[in-house]
């Protein structure tokens, strides 16, 4: 599954970002490749709702399509959804694990870890190679995850959560911290509410995260039909750098959407198109970051 590199803190090629940690890991083990690309950590509970799993998967998919490396902790739940979303987009994903690099935890993720490495990503561990999973190893893993990424996104987290540990490290190291807003009465999202109160930036669509990563072209999206900008796109949003020609079902579905979320079934009724055509158009529009998916099946226009 690829050779393992061992980095000491005084090595020239030791990841510089880790020096922001109070106690940088020494050594650090890496199986695979750490690429110089925008990197986002997507984190959350091991027992997420189906909607949170879908949201994590879709966000990772969209980021990977833009060339962002998707990082997470390799755990079940939100972590696994993020890794798989990136892989399904043909992108690169990295897992920072809470064990030694030769100790697969959880065991059922052996195939997932292998795929991460084989597709250009990596496994990263701050522990000796045979270290088993222990309660105290995961907070240290969380610090490495936050340090090696430019931004952390909390998808769904209860009050006591490893995701909040990662968020805490991101705050202390002044990394960008984004939080998906949660219902205040949902205990599985109580940690999200707490993180927003502590200064996390709400992430209702991809635009703030993309701006923080330096994707300035996202401000210059020009949607065209028959050579003319589409009605409803702000004048300042129109530019020549990124043009998405829309026609057929994609154009009809776009015109049926708005800044208010609408369900795919409603879009079928509004457009008169078959469900398959609507789903295909929605996929095209979300991959182009024209629409963003919220809860499963609900879509709205991106705020550019």
Report the predicted TM-score, pTM, of the whole model to 2 decimal places.
Answer: 0.74
The DSSP code sequence of 168-180 is HHHHHTT-EEEE-
Over 80: is that where the pLDDT of 241 sits? no
* Runs of H (alpha helix) within the chain: 50-65, 78-88, 110-118, 137-147, 162-172, 190-197, 207-212, 248-256, 264-271, 275-287
pLDDT tens-digit profile of 107-151?
999 999 999 999 999 999 999 998 988 888 899 999 999 999 999
The predicted model gives 184-197 an average pLDDT of 94
Over 50: is that where the pLDDT of 238 sits? no
Q: Report CA-CA distances (Å) from 13 to 4, 9, 37, 67.
A: 14, 9, 16, 23
- pLDDT given for residue 285 in this prediction: 86
Please report, for the chain, the start and end positions of each structural domain, with discontinuous segments joined by +.
4-212, 216-301
pLDDT over 90, % of the chain: 59
216-301 has the same fold as 4-212: no
Q: Which residues pair with 39 in a beta bridge?
A: 69
- pLDDT given for residue 216 in this prediction: 63
Over 90: is that where the pLDDT of 205 sits? no
Fold of 216-301: Arc Repressor Mutant, subunit A (1.10.10)
Q: What backbone torsions phi and psi does residue 128 show, to the nearest 5 degrees?
A: -60, 155
- pLDDT given for residue 236 in this prediction: 36
Mean pLDDT of the chain: 86
Over 60: is that where the pLDDT of 86 sits? yes
- pLDDT given for residue 239 in this prediction: 36
- pLDDT given for residue 212 in this prediction: 92
- pLDDT given for residue 133 in this prediction: 82
pLDDT tens-digit profile of 249-295?
888 898 888 878 889 988 988 888 888 889 888 988 887 778 888 76
Over 90: is that where the pLDDT of 1 sits? no
- pLDDT given for residue 225 in this prediction: 43
Q: Say how far apart CA 112 and CA 70 lie, in whole Å.
A: 14
What six digits make up the tokens of 36? 């110089």
Question: Domain 4-212 is of which CATH architecture?
Answer: 3-Layer(aba) Sandwich (3.40)
Q: Say how far apart CA 257 and CA 263 lie, in whole Å.
A: 9
pLDDT tens-digit profile of 210-226?
999 988 643 334 444 44
- Give the DSSP letter of residue 232: T
Over 60: is that where the pLDDT of 171 sits? yes
């Amino acid at each position: 599954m690829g050779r393992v590199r061992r980095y000491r803190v005084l090595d020239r090629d030791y990841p510089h970002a880790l020096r922001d940690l109070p106690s940088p890991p020494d050594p650090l083990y890496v199986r695979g490749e750490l690429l110089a690309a925008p990197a986002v950590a997507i984190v959350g509970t091991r027992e997420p709702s189906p909607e949170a799993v879908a949201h994590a998967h879709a966000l990772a998919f969209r980021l990977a399509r833009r060339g962002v490396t998707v990082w997470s902790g390799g755990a079940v739940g939100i972590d696994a959804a993020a890794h798989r979303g990136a892989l399904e987009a043909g992108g690169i994903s990295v897992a920072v694990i809470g064990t030694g690099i030769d100790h697969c935890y959880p065991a059922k993720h052996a195939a997932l870890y292998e795929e991460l490495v084989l597709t250009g990503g990596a496994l990263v561990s701050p522990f000796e190679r045979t270290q088993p999973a222990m309660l105290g190893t995961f907070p240290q893993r969380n610090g490495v995850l936050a340090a090696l990424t430019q931004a952390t996104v909390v998808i769904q987290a209860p009050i006591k959560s490893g995701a909040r540990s990662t968020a805490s490290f991101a705050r202390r190291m002044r990394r960008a911290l984004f939080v998906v807003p949660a219902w205040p009465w949902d205990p599985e999202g109580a940690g999200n509410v707490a993180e927003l109160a502590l200064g996390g930036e709400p992430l209702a669509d991809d635009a703030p995260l993309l701006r923080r990563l330096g994707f300035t072209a996202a401000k210059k999206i020009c949607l065209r039909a028959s050579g003319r900008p589409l009605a409803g796109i702000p004048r300042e949003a129109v530019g020549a750098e990124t043009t998405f020609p829309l026609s057929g079902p994609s154009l009809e579905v776009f015109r049926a959407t708005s800044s208010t979320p609408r369900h795919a079934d409603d879009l079928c009724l509004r457009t008169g198109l078959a469900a398959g055509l609507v789903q295909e158009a929605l996929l095209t529009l979300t991959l182009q970051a024209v629409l963003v998916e919220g809860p499963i099946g609900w879509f709205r226009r991106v705020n550019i």
